[in-house]
Structure 1
């Protein structure tokens, strides 16, 4: 009986040590992203919120005059779009550069010109964001899935796509990982191919998931400028 009691006591001690270690590592991960330049930039930026139906839009203005806009789905809390704008030459108005979401057509182009551009056979890359994955969709790639070689490259901080027929080569940066100082893990990469579109998925690491969750809660503290009525929505 005494031996059994000792074994139980040892088990409980090991369990407590294990739980303490798990909690310590979790807190370390939490602290790590808060110490990044990226997190500090977000917290120090001037932020404005606009809520339109199920979309929450956040406009950031940074100290270097760069601007960023994020759009979130209110129901899923998923980031739908992130775009950047920097001042042009001689202080002129810059153009928006989309990091996540569909590209923004050039304002000087008419609709017909945009349709002509999109109808070309050149591969077109768009970024998507889901709860658990970072995604890239590359249209106009007709080759079967076994043609593609998709590799993590931490030296260049990107995922590299190449084909066995040497007809396509592309580097896909992952700024979300670079900003947090995280390596790209080959095991987190998955892909599929259908309708002439190659879909590359990268499973989000826990640290990124934790930061996204906490940052959305922080953004909830930014009060909307106004709620846009349904009859006033942009067409």
Structure 2
């Protein structure tokens, strides 16, 4: 399922549905957009995820693939974003070793293309690391 914003010409959400065997609700794997909210069925929660935990959301524009990692408070000099063609991922690291994340690129994987370092750029604003990967020419 895809959601497309006609005003900005951006795919805002893409999700894949995974069917279960017999009973229960089907699960959705969110490829683009904010992750599905998780609700607890019980009212008493002893342990839950911190609201300041970094999380990744993904967008596609006409010319770029974009990842936004929210809740990362470190300055821009701390971050390193590299392309790993062997694993077909982008890797985000901090110099202080507080954050490490491998970002898969399913769009390039579907086209059997490898990520290239020269197509990567990133910026940091309002505790959000914005990673931009320039789309290959069609």
TM-score, length of structure 1 as denominator length? 0.52
Shift of 1:75: 4.5
Q: Which residue of 2 aligns with 1:141?
A: 72
- TM-superposed deviation, 1:138: 0.6
In structure 2, what is the Cα distance between the partners aligned to 1:191 and 1:158? 15
Matches within 5 A, 1:110-129: 120-129=51-60
For 1:191 and 1:184, locate their aligned partners in 2 and report how far apart those are by CA, in whole Å.
15
**Structure 2 match to 1:74:** 6
- 1:205 counterpart residue number: 136
User: How far does residue 175 in structure 1 lie from its aligned partner after superposition?
Assistant: 0.3
Correspondent of 2:111 among 172, 180, 202: 180
What SS is found at the alignment partner of 1:146? helix
Residue by residue, what CA displacement relative to the aligned partner does 1:17-71 show, whole Å, maximum 9, x if unpaired? xxxxxxxxxxxxxxxxxxxxxxxxxxxxxxxxxxxxxxxxxxxxxxxxxxxx011
The CA deviation string for residues 181-224 of structure 1, in whole angstroms up to 9 with x for no partner, is 111010000000011111100011112xxxxxxxxxxxxxxxxx
Determine whether 1:170 maps to 2:112: no
Q: How does 1:30-179 map to 2 (within 5 A)?
A: 69-90=1-22, 92-106=24-38, 120-179=51-110
1:106 deviation in Å? 3.5
2:121 aligned residue: 190
Cα pair 2:9 2:61 within 8 Å, conserved? no
User: Secondary structure of the residue that 2:53 maps to in structure 1?
Assistant: coil
Q: Aligned equivalents of 2:95 and 2:31: distance in 1?
A: 28
- In structure 2, relative to structure 1, the CA distance for the partners of 1:109 and 1:193 (3 Å cut) is farther
Following superposition, the deviation at residue 167 of structure 1 comes to: 0.5
Structure having the larger proportion of residues in strand? 2
Q: CA deviation at 1:77?
A: 4.0
Q: In the alignment, is the contact (CA less than 8 A) between 2:14 and 2:33 conserved in 1? A: yes
Rounded Cα–Cα distance in structure 2 between residues aligned with 1:170 and 1:109: 30
TM-score by structure 2 length?
0.86
Whichever structure has more helix as a proportion of its residues is 1
TM-superposed deviation, 1:73: 2.3
Q: What is the total number of aligned residue pairs between the two structures? A: 134
